[in-house]
Amino acid sequence: MGVKILEQSVERVVATMPVEGNRQSFGLLHGGASLAVGEAVGSWAAVIHASTLGKTAVGVDVSATHHKSARSGTITITATPIHLGRTLATHEVLITNDDGGRLCTLRITNLLLEKK
């Protein structure tokens, strides 16, 4: 998918992904690619938080709204916390285009589990 992590902390995870190679048959950024990368970045943010508690994270819920499409360029994926608890972590994930326009908004909740 060509994802690159630019920044990672408990407060924020930022990644980029090219539209090229992630299009559907009509030439638009594939909605499934948006969900996959959004879930991956949001889950990574939850894992970072979980690690501060000696735990790991697994996704339990994800939802997304597609606002606009993209045909070219690079998208930026930014996950920020909504709730950082001891058993659940919820993040908002924004996907934007090269101009900063919002393409997709995701919300992901991860369950924080003790490491086995």
Catalytic residues: 39
> Could you give the residue ranges of the DSSP H alpha helices within the chain?
31-51
In sequence order, what DSSP letters do the residues of 27-51 get, joined into one string?
SSBPHHHHHHHHHHHHHHHHHHHHH
Q: Report residue 3: phi and psi, to 5°.
A: -75, 135
Nearest to 113, CA basis, from 95, 93, 87, 91? 87
